Amino acid sequence: MAGKIHNRMPVIIDPAEFGRWLTAAEPPVDLLRPHSAAEMTAYPVSTAVNNSKNDRPELIESVAGLAP
């Protein structure tokens, strides 16, 4: 699913694994697995997200009229 949008995918860690991810002496590579597409929703957002200087809540809102 994410591959249709971008060639990179952020790591999505289950909240139950946050402690292990943050405190492990060695990287817990078993957590680096694809996230279920059924648990994700894709929708178009403003191109303003492409600039790291932009940090506003509305950047995660869907932009009407754009196809996902």
Please give the structure tokens belonging to residue 49: 């997200």
Structure tokens that stand for 66 in this block = 């754009």
Positions of E strands within the chain: none
What's residue 16's pLDDT?
95
Torsional sign, CA 59, 56, 34, 17: negative
14-53 tens-digit pLDDT: 999 999 999 999 989 999 988 888 888 888 888 899 899 9
pTM reported for the whole predicted model: 0.56
Q: Are 40 and 1 in contact (CB under 8 A)?
A: yes
pLDDT digits (tens, 9 = 90+) for 46-63: 889 989 999 999 898 888
pLDDT tens digits along 5-15: 777 778 899 99
